[in-house]
Structure 1
């Protein structure tokens, strides 16, 4: 999503290391469990390639802390197969080449990657992940990440969320056939995936889509709001970064573009509610997400909120916490099933994971089907609304729902 540079020597070293982490043949431990890279008699190592210093640092921090919480709890309960789980964290700052180098370092001694932030980074590592047979969970939801046995895209993809979002606007906000709908989206995998969904939904609903693509470095959305006003759009779909979404909503409010917004899950952050656009975001801005809000009355969600706040006092309680905890849980459950089969090799872990057709940690929403890797694990999106008074900064508007439009949708080919 941005131009990246790296010294030639660093790139050469990263590429030279590319062939060093290939899958290893399994051995056997003293307890009769088959093992491979990342497993010793007393430890299982997993690795997170996160963003702690780049554009998604807030996401990376919340996801990583929540994953540490999960693995700490798992270890306190005895670990897996009598072994403690070690989470190794590397910050790539949303730089593809740094991520490649970090992968070369940690992959040879890991059994899984419960966190890889970024669609471009996941795609850059895809061939190596598949060669190494590493169960990998991206913190990214572009539909072109589907199709790999070893890469698990969780819950809904961006295109599904936009289909459900436009369906919601048509049902609840009075949009009708012939209306124009704006869609502002980032160039790259995130935006293109969301756009595939909005094009499909607008076509089925007989609406005209007004597109505005922006770069990751664009900060002022004045021109885009002007284009939407000139076109006379009745609503706007939002698939940009949180800061860009704040500019969009702020400029729209100042210029009189009074329409509802339906946003991708990556286009909102709780921290925005403390900024000058906080009030505008709470007016008519809706977020499509696979995560239930922390303000909802679900016992498991309340329990996670309390445990996270106890472990990380004063830290934001937002969707990154839910995402981090559940993705760590996906890997944790795969490790438990693999242990039960006495096979903690990489293939044993992937086989255990792919045998789960109804994954559910009790947080609500639709169970996820991990047995098929060429389609989204779920097609049901929550609709949540920013609310500064609510725990986590959002409140429930509609429970997780798969729209009739989404039921008839198949994602474009992802190669």
Structure 2
């Protein structure tokens, strides 16, 4: 039976709100030691089949709280409260709901093994509807009660960014925007979008183009997510010596992309970078398929979720789309997926394999590592958690990614720079790798977006 530790808090919303679709950088005088988080491990497959399945087991005993552990907002003697702010009912809920559930499910498994520092983890969910104003309202109601947050969506993180910084609120973003690297309280868990785009172009030029750059255009959202895609493409264009043939803008909630698709066709774009979220990307793919435009659309880890293969555009996604995969795919034979599948069976049995669920699970694993670092430091206050997030060295993500490090310098907060290219299909998780993980010269050249 599902052990649900999430509090689904109803947040009062103002009617006028429109619903729109590395190395360690600890201070030199700090004597804190880096710790490695262990994700909940799968139960032993050799267990007697006649016995009920046990909850996922950890490979180590839960961390004990030090004799003196400073605590603050969101932490009591028996509970650590976290939040998952996601799109649960808006234009990208197809990704927002599973990413929040993946985050919750990880901590359900942690709780089953004793929690963290003798405390159970409670996850409070808030629906942002992918609207910045709604997100601010939701943050203001939930924020005073929690230690840290998972937040889904680049524009949503941007909307609450200043508030979170003022509150020393650690955010694990469902965003790959390199613009957040300057904030020590925001910890990206995978390759930033700008680097993913640069690696995608490396693949287009050297694997598909035999060293010659084909005609490449971009459709980008008119926000930070789109800007980061454009920045990565500009770095790649300079590195490989080509001109971007066309740029078009659209909104996250737009329901038509006929003009943008026609602009790409008119420019002769053979490859189109998808600098948009899943909802807008589905509109683009649908418009291209309807008009017979057979370009290859290229994602950078933010434009697809498995639920899109349940729509009328499924065939177009499979035939006209490739994407970078910043984390190991669902079918990977890694420790992390063994543990995820055990937690999924125990705590979220109705959830189908979904890359967004997997990403939410990884976000929780990384936040767990940061919390363990704070516990080791003896400081589980909000400020202590921010400090801990600058002291992460080679965090073991159990194969989902290469080891992650977070320092104090913005460039040292890039978790890693490798990507792999994937095709979209009906396999569990909906991705099949085309390449191994790689880092091209353009990716190495990507810095911080202005």
TM-score by length of structure 2 reads 0.80
3-state SS of paired residue (2:380): coil
Alignment of 1:111 with 2:111, yes or no, is no
1:185 maps onto 2:223 in alignment? no
**1:16-415 correspondence runs (5 A):** 31-113=67-149, 115-174=150-209, 177=212, 179-209=214-244, 210-375=246-411, 376-388=414-426, 390-413=427-450
* Shift in Å, 1:342: 2.2
Distance 2:309 2:15 in 1: 40
CA contact (8 A) 1:156 1:381 kept: yes
Structure with the largest fraction of helix: 1
The Cα shift of 1:176 comes to 5.2
Encode CA deviations 1:203-238: one digit per residue, 9 max, x unaligned: 222222111111223223332222222222221111
CA distance in 2, matches of 1:126, 1:172: 39
Cα displacement (A) at 1:85: 1.3
Shift of 1:6: 5.1
Could you give the per-residue CA deviations for residues 30-69 of structure 1, whole angstroms, max 9, x where no partner exists?
9522111222111111122221011221222112211211
State the 1:329 CA deviation: 1.5
Kindly provide the CA deviation profile for residues 171-223 of structure 1, in whole angstroms up to 9, marking residues without a partner as x: 22116546421111111111111011111212222222111111223223332
User: Aligned pairs, how many?
Assistant: 388
Alpha-carbon contact 2:151-2:174 (below 8 Å) kept = yes
1:119–1:140: 8 Å Cα contact kept in structure 2?
A: yes
The secondary structure found in structure 2 opposite 1:266 is coil
Q: Which runs of 5+ in 2 are unaligned?
A: 1-12, 18-64
Q: Is the 8 A contact 1:296 1:396 kept in 2?
A: no
Question: Is there any run of 5+ residues in structure 1 with no aligned partner, and where?
Answer: 11-28
Structure 2: distance between partners of 1:132 and 1:254: 48
Q: Superposition RMSD on alpha carbons, in Å?
A: 2.4
Determine helix, strand or coil for the equivalent of 2:247.
Answer: strand
TM-score, length-scaled by structure 1: 0.86
Residues 1:131 and 1:405: Cα distance change in structure 2 (over 3 Å)? same
Separation in structure 2 between the aligned mates of residue 250 and residue 7 of structure 1, nearest angstrom: 32
